[in-house]
């Protein structure tokens, strides 16, 4: 709650300060012919002082509120109790039963929950509570939180085309996912990750490269 309150209070406040400074910056910028956006800046610099100040404040606060709304829409709430874990954001809600969880850890920015068959029950990236808060919550309710990350890390290997250990279907999906990563299509990459999990392929990404390890099919 404290982190979210900081965003809702901080973004509009920073926006208000920047908006208040806008007339001053505009006066300075219009004196530089090479500075971009000369038209809007001349308009801002030409406004009378009270109107320019009030307008800048309103614009700054509004921009801060919009940024806070965007941040809120991308934020994942993690609710942990003795029986289950619930991951909730604007686009989806996922619940994982405590009895199914054998490991919980952070993989970069993602929160990962593993099941008894070593497959991923959930992988959630994006904005969420800080790692210290997550660790405390999971341990308080008896979940196997691991500071050392994935307990099966040594089984990952880098994917390259035509590896004999993978099926033709898995290779096709990995090729498609490599293209999605190149064009930074996160939604498509995550959908393909789920399809690969159905084939018994667990993934993690490192610097744009895909690393995989086997797990029983349909582990999710």
Residue 51 φ/ψ, nearest 5 degrees: -65, -40
Domain extent listing, the chain: 2-73, 76-151, 153-220
The pLDDT score that the predictor gives to residue 220 is: 46
In this prediction the pTM is 0.67
- The more confident residue out of 93 and 41 is 93
The helix (run of H) or strand (run of E) holding residue 103 is strand 103-107
For 97-148, how does the pLDDT look when each residue is reduced to its tens digit (9 = 90+)?
999 999 999 998 899 999 999 999 999 987 888 899 999 999 999 999 999 9
Of residues 34 and 210, more confidently modeled: 210
* DSSP letters spanning 26-82: HHHHTT-TTSS-HHHHHHHHHS-HHHHHHHHHHHHHHHHHHHHHHHHHTB-EEEE-S
Angle 88-90-92 from CA coordinates, rounded to 5°: 55
Q: Using an 8 Å Cβ cutoff, are 163 and 179 in contact? A: no
In the structure encoding, which two tokens stand for residue 183, read together? 């064009």
pLDDT in tens, 158-204: 999 988 999 999 999 999 999 999 999 988 999 999 999 999 999 99
Residue 42 predicted with pLDDT over 80: no
């Amino acid at each position: 709650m404290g982190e979210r309150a900081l965003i809702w209070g901080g973004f509009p406040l920073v926006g208000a300060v920047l908006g208040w400074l806008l007339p001053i910056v505009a006066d300075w910028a219009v004196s530089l012919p090479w500075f971009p956006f000369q038209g809007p800046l001349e308009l801002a610099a030409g406004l009378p002082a009270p109107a320019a100040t009030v307008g800048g404040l309103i614009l700054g606060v509004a921009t801060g509120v919009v940024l806070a709304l965007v941040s809120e829409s991308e934020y994942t709430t993690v609710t942990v109790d003795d029986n289950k874990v619930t991951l909730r954001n604007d686009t989806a809600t996922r619940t994982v039963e405590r009895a199914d969880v054998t490991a919980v850890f952070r993989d970069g920015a993602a929160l990962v929950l593993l099941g008894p068959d070593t497959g991923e029950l959930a992988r959630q990236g994006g904005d969420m509570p800080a790692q210290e808060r997550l660790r405390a919550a999971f341990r308080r309710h008896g979940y196997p939180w691991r500071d050392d990350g994935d307990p099966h890390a040594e089984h990952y290997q880098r994917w390259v085309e035509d590896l004999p250990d993978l099926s033709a279907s898995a290779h096709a999906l990995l090729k498609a996912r490599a293209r999605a990563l190149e064009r930074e299509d996160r939604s498509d990459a995550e959908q393909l990750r789920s399809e690969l999990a159905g084939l018994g392929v667990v993934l993690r990404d490192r610097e744009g490269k895909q690393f995989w390890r086997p797990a029983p099919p349909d582990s999710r």
